[in-house]
Amino acid sequence: MDLEFFEQLALPLFDSLYNLAHWLTGDRMEAEDLVQETYTKALRGFKSFQEGTNLRAWMFRILRNTFLTSRSGLNARNTSWLEDEDMDVKLIAAHTDTPEALLLRHENQQTVVDALESLPAHYREIILLCEVEEFSYREIAEILSLPIGTVMSRLYRAKHALRQVLRASAPGRSQNAL
């Protein structure tokens, strides 16, 4: 693969790679190190990368594997990124009028962030890949080096766990809604 081609494909992934790296590490410096190392490894390996295969999944796989071997990857649970300074993302209002939709529409953004943060690292990771990066199960299986059946069951359990946390954080509303 041509280096120029790599630049064209890999550079647009920068923001999402950084976002995931920050989610995983919980620290700006560590996230930067992780992203930089990911690009270094990708640059080193891109010649062996087969054109036509999924570069995006490949890059995320490198990021994730690099994270696993990093210090913060080993201490994945001990994170704290609860600052609320760049919370400019607005929840899009639900168009359905079901009680659950209403409940989640009014859910505080911070509550969702907190809930996600409180999840075990492997749950948080798979939810981010599925819901934020919108990877297919097949791609997630590739990134996490898991059988697709494990991806399905882990993702289900992760979402279930997240819902439990969100319910617990808003018991009154949840009870009213249900």
Partner 1 sequence: MHCDQDDATLVQYLDGELSPDQAIALQQHIGECPRCAAEVSELIGLKRSLRVARARFTPTTEFRRKIQQQIAKPQHSWWRTRFVLTLATAAVFLVIASVLWMQHSHRPDSLSEVADLHAGALASANPVDVVSTDRHTVKPWFQNKIPFSFNIPELAGTEFSLLGGRLIYLHQQPGAQLIFTLRKHEISVLIFQRTAELAHALPAGGGIEKHNSFNVETSDAQELRFVVIGDADANEIHKLAQMIRTANE
Q: Which is nearer to partner 1, 11 or 74 (CB)?
A: 11
Spatial distance between the Cα atoms of 156 and 170, rounded to a whole number of angstroms = 21
Q: Which is nearer to partner 1, 145 or 149 (CB)?
A: 149
Nearest-5° Cα angle at 158, 85 to 127 = 50
Closest CA to 131 of 15, 16, 10, 33: 16
Spatial distance between the Cα atoms of 13 and 15, rounded to a whole number of angstroms = 6
Query: Which amino acid is residue 114, in one-letter code?
Result: D
The least distance separating partner 1 from the CB of residue 6, rounded to whole angstroms, comes to 8
The least distance separating partner 1 from the CB of residue 103, rounded to whole angstroms, comes to 7
The least distance separating partner 1 from the CB of residue 98, rounded to whole angstroms, comes to 4
The least distance separating partner 1 from the CB of residue 65, rounded to whole angstroms, comes to 19
Q: Which is nearer to partner 1, 112 or 146 (CB)?
A: 112
Tokens of 115: 């809930």
Q: Which is nearer to partner 1, 146 or 152 (CB)?
A: 152
The least distance separating partner 1 from the CB of residue 33, rounded to whole angstroms, comes to 10
**In sequence order, which ranges of 14-170 are alpha helices (DSSP H)?**
14-25, 28-45, 55-69, 71-74, 99-105, 109-118, 121-127, 137-144, 148-169
Where does this chain bind partner 1 (CB under 8 A)? 3-4, 6-7, 10-11, 14-15, 18-19, 21-23, 28, 31-32, 35-36, 39-40, 43, 81, 86-87, 89, 91-92, 94, 96, 98-101, 103-105, 107, 109, 112-113, 116, 127-128, 130-132, 136-137, 152-153, 155-156, 159-160, 162-163, 166
Q: Which is nearer to partner 1, 31 or 76 (CB)?
A: 31
Spatial distance between the Cα atoms of 128 and 13, rounded to a whole number of angstroms = 15
